[in-house]
Amino acid sequence: MAEVDATSRGSWNTKLGFVLAAAGSAVGLGNIWKFPNVVADNGGAAFILIYIICCFLIGFPVMIAELTIGRRTRKNPVGAFKALSRNKLFALIGAWGIICGVMILAFYNVVAGWTLSFILEEITYSLGFTHAAAFFANLKHGPENALFSILFMGATVSIIMGGISNGIEKATKTMMPILLGILIVMIGYVFTQNGSTEGLQHYLIPDFSKINAKLVFAAMGQAFFSLSLGMGAMITYGSYLNKKQNIPEAASYVVLFDFAVAFLAGLLIIPALFVAQAHGIQIYQKGSLVSSVGLVFQVLPTLFHSMSHWVSLIFGTTFFILLSMAALTSTISLLEVPVSYAIDEHGIPRKKAALLIAGGILVISIFISFDISWIDILASVFNNVGLPLGGLLICLFLGYFWKTENALLEMKEGYENVENSFFGKLWPIFVKYICPILIGIVFFQALEQLF
Ligand code: TRP
């Protein structure tokens, strides 16, 4: 019976398919848009070092926790908590996750829309249509933001309607290798340009004097968002995993992939910034690097425009295609969570659920399109506070109610020897003590900043 259920909900065809889908969820605007900026502003390689520690110390155990809950129950976040305990209150953890996901998708979709409009901006500019280019570059123009939000949500929903293996898996399996390829070729090109060495130094020479407690919390928060944790996205993706998969191994590939792309994005963008500086473009404002919106949507286009027409056309357009693909593999995961909830808990067919929910979220996106100051407000509530809260509750639930022994029993399928392994001894300590304490601190910090 369980097997029939599993197939009717859909499942990943291959292990690689799952890893790329989960890595696609992880790799997004957080990696390419935000990470390089945070690094450049916070001591370069020193931050990277702390970031990778956060990914493996906090992100990795929590990702395993989410995937295991998902595979065990084969349910969306709400259904998963309902299935694992009699106390219906726990389902609220899942519900909170879904709310966070919906709100994150609402504003993420607007930024994702910008990446589309900038593809057109680069094409029109390079071809000499500067008026059209200026139109596409205007991030504050409501109707245009709304239009691109609609287009982006359309792309997301069309993939989600295709289901797990035919929709998400196929799309991410195509896009992730292209994304990686584009990134590497672009890095190669930037390195041939004047000024890139200075950027490389800025990126890779650590400045340990910038490390302080606040920075460590920033790294933890960034790791959490980048790995798509705290709202049940990985519970949902885990629910489509078959019992042959080794969960900790698969999770380690996802974390590595996500880190690698963030690192490579920094290797592209920070040297590119200094190439821009060599072209006379201002990259510092009040002593620190320009903000992340300004960086990707102003400094880089200005740099592209200062190159020859053809280079600008190819390089600029490809860069924004890269960014939109990264965003798309992430919006897919954000939309899949509420859709899986509607399918499992309310019996709504996938296509109908996808259209209805995407339509509802789009209404919020359109509202945000006309007043983009909401992006910062929603991000500080739902990313910065909401995700750590969700992650904290997931750890506490797994550690103290469902129990790590039961989770390890689930992991045994696909990883026979897990209980006696070094990992199997260490993981429960992380889920029960280390992660809740550290994530708890991040949560309270973010809450304090909110008020
Ligand atoms: N991880 C993505 C990024 O780095 C964003 C994202 C997708 C996300 N799905 C998520 C964040 C679920 C939190 C939870 O851009």
Question: Does the structure show a pLDDT above 60 at 25?
Answer: yes
What's the average model confidence in pLDDT over 93-121? 97
Question: Does the structure show a pLDDT above 90 at 146?
Answer: yes
Q: What is the 3-state secondary structure (H, E, C) of the chain?
A: CHHHHHHHHCCCCCHHHHHHHHHHHHCCHHHHHHHHHHHHHCCCHHHHHHHHHHHHHHHHHHHHHHHHHHHHHCCCHHHHHHHHCCCHHHHHHHHHHHHHHHHHHHHHHHHHHHHHHHHHHHHHHHCCCHHHHHHHCCCCCHHHHHHHHHHHHHHHHHHHHCCHHHHHHHHHHHHHHHHHHHHHHHHHHHHCCCCHHHHHHHHHCCCHHHCCHHHHHHHHHHHHHHCCCCCCHHHHHHCCCCCCCCHHHHHHHHHHHHHHHHHHHHHHHHHHHHHHHHCCCCCEECCEECCHHHHHHHHHHHHHHCCCHHHHHHHHHHHHHHHHHHHHHHHHHHHHHHHHHHHHHHCCCHHHHHHHHHHHHHHHHHHHHHCCHHHHHHHHHHHHHHHHHHHHHHHHHHHHHHHHHHHHHHHHCCCCCHHHCHHHHHHHHHHHHHHHHHHHHHHHHHHHHHC
Substitution site in 67, 104, 115 for ligand 1 pocket (most atoms within 8 Å of beta carbon):
104
Question: Does the structure show a pLDDT above 80 at 1?
Answer: no
What's the pLDDT score for residue 8?
66
What's the pLDDT score for residue 290?
73
Q: Is the CB of 225 under 6 A from ligand 1?
A: yes
Q: Is the CB of 29 under 6 A from ligand 1?
A: yes
Please give the mean pLDDT across all residues of the chain. Answer: 93
Q: Is the CB of 25 under 6 A from ligand 1?
A: yes
Distance 122 CA to ligand 1 centre (A): 26
Domains of the chain: 15-450 (1.20.1740)
Confidence grade of residue 308 (pLDDT, cut at 50, 70, 90): confident
Structure confidence by residue, pLDDT tens digits, 47-56: 999 999 999 9
Q: Is the CB of 231 under 6 A from ligand 1?
A: yes
What's the average model confidence in pLDDT over 331-350? 97
